[in-house]
Every structure is written in C-alpha cells, then in structure tokens.
Amino acid sequence: MRTKALAAIGRHNMIFPGDTVFVGLSGGADSVALTHFLYTVKDQMGFELRAVHINHKLRGKEADRDEMFVRDFCERFSIPLAVESRNVAGIAQKKGLSCEQAGREVRYEVFDRLCSEVEHGKIATAHTLSDLMETMIFNIARGCGIGGLCGIPAVRDNIIRPLIDCTREEIERYCEENNLSYVIDSTNLSDDFTRNKIRHAIIPALYEINPALDKTMRRLSSLAAQDEDFLSDLAQSALDSAKCSGGYSTEKLSPLSPSVLSRAIISASGISPSSRQVELLSQCVKVGSGSVQLGSDVVGTVACGKLSFAPPRKEPEKIPFWSVTLKDGTADLPDGRKIFLEDFSPEDALKAQKINKKLFINCICCDTINVNLTARIRKGGDTFSPAGRNCTKTLKKLFNEQGILADERWRRVLLEADGEIIWIEGLGASQKVYPDSKSVRVLLINITNNKNEDEPL
C-alpha cells in the first residue's frame, strides 16, 4: 500500500512542501491507514498534517464510539484534530436529500472552511481502488456516459486521494502490519444499501470472471478519463468560439456532435443538470428555440440565435382576458392599439410571400370565412394549426418553440373565426386561411398604435 500511495502522490502532484493536509478520519480501516501513512511521510515531504472527524449523529452510541476512537488515535500520534457534530438526518430532510448526500455536503463544507483558514490547504480522503470500482459499477447501472466510467478522480481541485490505486485488502493488510486498530461501521455489513450489494455480491462475482478485475477496471477508468478530458477540451473550445453578448451563438453550437454539445451545455450552465435536461436543451439548440429548466435556479433558453442561462423568470402577471368583434373589419383593442383589415390582391400577396416575408405572415384568405372575426388574447387550452406544418399544437408549445417569453405571450393578438384561431400575431395564418394561387379574396391584417395610425407596430 505504501508504495502505491507514494507513487500516486508523485504521479498526480498531490502534495508539495508547505501544504497543510486535512485528512478525513472516520475511524474505519481506510481512513486510519491513510492518516497513519501521511503521518509517516509528513516530515520527509514537508507538509503539515491535521485530522478532521465529523459526527453525523446517525448511529447513536456507535457514532459516539467512533468519535472517541478517533480522539484516542490522534492523541496517540500527536496529530491535531478538529471534531464537529452535525444533525445530518435533519439536514437531509430539510433539503430533500438522502442522508448519504447530506453527509457528503456537510463533510466538504467543513473541509472547505478549514482549508480557507490556511494557505495551501489540501483535503485528503481515503477513497480506494475498491471504492472506484464500486462507483463505476453503480454508475453503469444508472446508465452513465463516459464521465461515469471515470469513477473517482485521483485529484479534484484541492481534494487528493492518495489511496486511489490501493485495494481494500491491501489497506487492511497495512493496518495489520502496523498494528493499527479501527472501527467497523455496522451499516457497511448490511445489504440494505445499493453500494453494499455491489461490494458484497457483484464485485466478488466479477472477480470470479476476471481475477485481475481491479487492474482492468483501473485501466478502464484511466482510458475513460483521457477521453472525457479530450471531449471536455473540445467543448470548452467550442464555447469560447461561440461566446457572444449575453450567451452563446447557436449558429456555432448547433453543428457540434451530440457528445461535444452536451458537454458544452453542462459547462456553460455552471451546474450538473440531468442527462434528460441536457438532451432537451440540445434539441432546442438544434431547432433554434425553446427553453428548459435545468435546476431550481437555472433556465437554459434558446432564442434569437442565442443560448443563454438565467434564473427562472417570475410568473408573469396575466392580463385580464379580453375579446372584441371586428365591425367593418376594424376594432379598438384594450391594450391601446387598433386592428384593421384591408383588401390585398392575391397577386400582391404571392409577391409578398417571395419578397416580404414579414408582410406576408399578416395575410389571410377569407374565401371560407362567413362570420365576423374576433380579436382576443390567449386563454388556457388554445390550439392552433400553423400553415405548412400539418399539425395542431397548443399555443404554449408553439410559443415555447418560437422562444417567445412568457410575459410577451399575453400581449399577442389572435384572430378567431367561428371558434377557431385563424391567425396569431407574429406567427401568421392557420392552414385553413393560408393564401395560395387559388385564393379569391385576401386581407392584410394591420395592428397600429391608436395615437398614430400610420405607424404599424
């Protein structure tokens, strides 16, 4: 174990002279072996060693026993010790986390605080090759990508794992050779937890298939990490190239391969969204519009050729529903504007289709309309059949696809004929009233400010 740990420290540049290393000491075999090993090399390598123990208050007297063991161990070797207690079960319930997740957050919160109080602080955890193998298998069972096959990195920021190439058997042998006692967490003996099932049943079965399992899985982890680093570098380069005011150009992001685009999205978001959320936002980038909530504090939005990330918008204040009937093809709207229809020759409409797209989306064919038109705003359950798409969708879905912001949706004017929406401001005509070469009567829809009817909005 000692040889492998020293090799890992040197290969990954884990510790330098002048560092202060805070080692997590739970009292189990792994953490005892790591603490003792670091104690034996600290003077030679020129770093200061301190131990940290956190009582999670989860196992009653057993947890208190572990704390007393750690205190005695550190006193025996004159290792400075910081002990803190946390009600992890209460924290987990409050945050909606598992106790395991809450405990991890608590541990790193304490470590980070202690590191901030010194220069060159490092956090040493006792993760082993056996832990790495269990993590890889757990990730595979959950349907991971390459990142999940990397397992546990030897170094992440200021976190170091000197025992990452050592098996649990090698660590227990080290404790025996150095006359080191340790405590056993009773929860590790139960198969009630997924990781314990992997440890007690799956890993032994895989060793029967391949007695060199630890070496081959370590190799797989290293190869996966190399590929992950390469793809992540590509994603970061793509992000740097696509950077624009307020976000990232979708014109530059959309041609990216799915593996690079997904990593670019994760990096740009600044959080760790689920694979499904990343997939949905990738689709939005490809089609050019839409938004996906990636977490409680982040929404990814694609609109106007740009991918951006921002906190969720507050629910917009809904405008009171209104509806007015057009008399003689005109009506004053409650929002201060005016709508009026004017005859537009079919020939001019077809010319506008080729030359002036913005003008053409305001044209409708009235050959099949025999009732007065109604102008209104949206209401729940509205559907629309956009011209040329052979489908009917809810307005909510259409507005999402177009990247129309929530508070803007309540200001869009709709035209309705006999209970059917035939035109939407900014989206154009429905399939039913879309002008074509056979149209006899075409109307041009104008919406203007009442204060200046010559200035269309």
Q: What share of the chain is helix, strand, coil (3-state, %, to 5)?
A: 45, 20, 35
pLDDT in tens, the chain (457 residues): 999 999 999 999 999 999 999 999 999 999 999 999 999 999 999 999 999 999 887 777 888 899 999 999 999 999 999 998 888 888 888 877 778 788 888 898 999 999 999 999 999 999 999 999 999 999 999 888 899 999 999 999 999 999 999 999 999 999 999 999 999 876 665 555 678 899 989 999 999 999 999 999 999 999 999 999 999 999 999 999 999 998 999 999 999 999 999 999 999 998 888 888 899 999 999 988 888 888 778 889 998 889 999 887 665 566 788 999 998 889 999 988 999 998 888 887 777 777 766 677 888 998 878 778 999 999 888 999 999 888 999 998 888 877 677 777 888 999 999 889 999 998 899 999 988 888 888 888 998 876 444 444 4
The predicted pLDDT at position 451 comes to 47
Say how far apart CA 376 and CA 395 lie, in whole Å: 14
The predicted pLDDT at position 272 comes to 84
The predicted pLDDT at position 14 comes to 97
Count CA within 13 A, CB hemisphere, residue 331.
19
Architecture of domain 323-456: 3-Layer(bba) Sandwich (3.50)
Say how far apart CA 185 and CA 63 lie, in whole Å: 9
pTM of the model: 0.65
Architecture of domain 2-187: 3-Layer(aba) Sandwich (3.40)
330-332 and 337-344: which strand pairing? antiparallel
Domain residues of the chain, as ranges? 2-187, 245-310, 323-456
R_g (Cα) of the chain, nearest Å = 32
Q: Is the dihedral of CA 64, 65, 67, 72 positive or negative?
A: positive
Say how far apart CA 163 and CA 154 lie, in whole Å: 9
Q: Name the residue among 78, 79, 77, 135 with its Cα closest to residue 104.
A: 135
Is there a common fold for 2-187 and 323-456? Answer: no
Say how far apart CA 201 and CA 180 lie, in whole Å: 28
Yes or no: say if 431 and 437 are a contact pair by the CB < 8 Å rule: no
Say how far apart CA 320 and CA 315 lie, in whole Å: 15
